[in-house]
């Protein structure tokens, strides 16, 4: 009798948990994970998207800035930032996009996410294509090594790391403002 009572109490507790956990899980998934047509997403540069008013930074990667220039092996300058943006825009084209975001935003107020265009993980595709590099993470290290060895994208010549490019841009603006 005591065993049966404990079993019944256990079943009641489980039913309550299920009734509470299922709606809470659905709400969290709605907040953290979202699906939309690619036409609703726009590439800002090689590692950032916008979805309406929502700004998204692709987690674990850093791509050349839109205005950044790189050099081929033959020292020919080319717009690697625009190429990176264009590659991301092409990946988004005619796809259903899903983003799984971290709970915290970055220092610029952007969601930090892994995003898929259909079955393609955009973060990984940008690095393996040579249009971005790993950033504060080793998650895509092997993809970066493969792009380097294959001399794909930015790895086909010389480039300035995007973080350094941004730092120099900020320094130049401060210097110009002080003149």
Residue range 21-62, pLDDT digits in tens: 444 444 444 444 445 555 589 999 999 999 999 999 999 999
pLDDT of 30: 43
CATH number at residue 145: 2.40.50.90
Q: CA–CA separation, 65 vs 47, rounded Å?
A: 9
- Cβ neighbours of 29 (radius 10 Å): 11
Residue 119 belongs to some domain of the structure: yes
pLDDT of 36: 53
Residue 5 belongs to some domain of the structure: no
Number of domain units in the chain: 1
pLDDT of 29: 45
Residue 66 belongs to some domain of the structure: yes
- Helices of type H across 45-161: 80-92, 122-128, 141-149
Q: CA–CA separation, 98 vs 81, rounded Å?
A: 24
* Full domain range(s) for residue 162: 33-168
Residue 69 belongs to some domain of the structure: yes
Residue 89 belongs to some domain of the structure: yes
pLDDT of 40: 84
């Amino acid at each position: 009798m005591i065993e049966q009572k404990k079993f019944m109490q256990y079943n009641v507790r489980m039913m309550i948990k299920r009734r509470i956990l299922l709606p809470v899980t659905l709400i969290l998934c709605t907040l953290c994970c979202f699906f939309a047509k690619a036409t609703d997403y726009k590439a800002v540069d090689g590692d950032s998207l916008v979805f309406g008013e929502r700004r998204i930074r692709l987690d674990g990667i850093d791509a050349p800035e839109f205005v950044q220039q790189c050099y081929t092996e033959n020292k020919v300058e080319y717009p690697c930032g625009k190429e990176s943006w264009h590659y991301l825009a092409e990946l988004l084209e005619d796809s259903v996009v899903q983003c799984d975001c971290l709970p915290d935003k970055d220092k610029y107020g952007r969601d930090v996410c892994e995003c898929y265009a259909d079955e393609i993980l955009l973060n990984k595709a940008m690095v393996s294509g040579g249009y971005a590099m790993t950033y504060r993470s080793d998650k895509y290290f092997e993809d970066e090594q493969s792009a380097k060895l294959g001399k794909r994208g930015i790895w086909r010549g010389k480039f300035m790391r995007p973080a350094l490019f941004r730092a120099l841009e900020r320094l130049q603006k401060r210097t110009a403002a002080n003149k």
